[in-house]
Amino acid sequence: MSLPTVPLDPFGPTAGRTHPTTNTSRPDTVTVDLHNHLRITAADEFVRPHLPSEGANTAYRYSDPRSREIYDRIHASRISEWTDIETRLADMNKMNIDVMAVSCLPPQFYYMVEPGVGHETSQIVNDGIASKIRDYPTRFVGLGTVPMQDTGLAISELNRCINELGFRGIQIGARVVDEELSAERFEPFWTRCEELDVPIFIHPSSFASPRLGRHHFANVIGNPLDTTVAVHYLIFDGVMARHPNLKIWLSHGGAFAGAYGARMDHAFGVRPECRDHIDELPSTYLKRFYVDTLVFAPDQLEYLVKKLGADHVVLGTDYPADMADYDPIELVYQTQGLSESDRQKICGLNAFNLLGLDPAQFAR
C-alpha cells in the first residue's frame, strides 16, 4: 500500500495534523504568542571568547553530521526571522498573532560561562530585546533572561528586567548546566519571583546525549525530556509546595509530564522517597503549571485542556524555528469540546492574565 507523500516544508503547515481547505476562524479577542524566540547577535559576539570549546548548543554538539548540516543551512536561511522585527511583524500578521511575548534564543542563556560574564551577557540580551520592541508597544512584550549560574546576580537582573526595562516575565532553562531548578541555592530566586509576581517561562536546552544524535532526536525527544525532568524535580523536591504563588508556563505542551502525569501519582502512592518533600498528589502541583499549545495535533490539545483546564493553556508557536507551529489558532479551532470562551482564553486572554496586562491596551 502506498502512503501519501508529505511535502518537506520546514516553515509551512505542520505534518502533525490535517488542514482545512477553508480559512480558519479566529477569536474576536486579542491573540498572544507566549513561545517564540529572538536572537540578539551582539550577545553572541560578546560571549564567544568565553565559551567552552564545545560551544553553547548541546543539541548541536551531539547531533550527527547530517543533522548539523541541516541545522546550519536552516538557520542561515532564517537570519532575518531570528533577528529582524519588521520581518517578524509581517509573519505575525500572516499567522493572526496580534502580540508576541518575546524571549531570547535558548542557547543564549549561556549558563556555562563565568558568572560575571553571564551577567553581562544577559544584560546585552535584555537590552537588545528592549531596544528591538520599543517602537511597537502594542505588538510586543519583553521576557528577560537572567544569569542562573549565580543566584544573587540572577535576582539582580530579574529586578532590572521588571523594574527598569518594563518586562512582564522571564525565560529560564530547564536546568543550569548540571544543576536542577530545585537546587537549594535557588530558593531566594523563587521567593523573589513570588514577591514581584513574575511569570516564568521554562524552556529546555535539550537533554542531549550521543544516544539522541540521529533523526533530530536531540530536539524531538531531548527538548521535551529536559522539561519533563525539570517539572518532576520542581514538584517532588517541594519547590511548588513551598512557593504556592509561583506562575510558571511550560513549552511544548508541558512536555511528557503533560501526557503521563498519573505515573507521578502512582509513585507517590507506592514509594516513600516520593513523599519526602510533598504531602499532596504530584498531579495537584502539576495542575498549577500553564502549558503552551505546541503539541500539533487536536486530540493532544484536547487532552491537555481536559487534564489542566482551559484556564491553564496558552498559545505558543516556537517562531521562527523549523519545529514551530505556524498556525496555532487553526489548532485551537480544530480541537473538539472547546467553547468560544475557551478558545478566547487559550488564544490570548490567559496570557494577558498571566502577564498582568490589559488586552484593551494592545492591537488586534
Strand 175-176, strand 179-180: pairing: antiparallel
Which residue has cell 475557551?
342
Question: Which residues are 203's β-sheet partners?
Answer: 173
The amino acid occupying position 302 is E
What is the CATH T-level fold of the domain 32-357, as seen in this structure?
A: TIM Barrel (3.20.20)
Could you report the per-residue pLDDT of 110-149, keeping only the tens digit for each? Answer: 999 999 999 999 999 999 999 999 999 999 999 999 999 9
Alpha-carbon gap, residue 224 to 219, rounded angstroms: 8
Could you report the per-residue pLDDT of 226-265, keeping only the tens digit for each? Answer: 999 999 999 999 999 999 999 999 999 999 998 899 999 9
Q: What percent of the chain has pLDDT over 70?
A: 98
pLDDT at site 56: 65
Which residue has cell 543539541?
59
CA dist 249 → 130, 135, 287, 288, 300 (Å): 22, 27, 11, 9, 17
Could you report the per-residue pLDDT of 312-363, keeping only the tens digit for each? Answer: 999 999 999 999 999 999 999 999 999 999 999 999 999 999 999 999 999 7
Contact 353, 324 (CB under 8 A): no
SS3 letters across 317-360: CCECCCCCCCCHHHHHHHCCCCCHHHHHHHHHHHHHHHHCCCHH
Contact 123, 42 (CB under 8 A): no
pLDDT score of 3 more than 60: no
Sign (positive or negative) of CA dihedral 343, 348, 352, 355: positive
Angle at the Cα of 117 from the Cα atoms of 111 and 119, rounded to 5 degrees: 70
What average pLDDT does the structure give for the chain? 94
Whose CA is closest to 315, among 288, 336, 335? 335
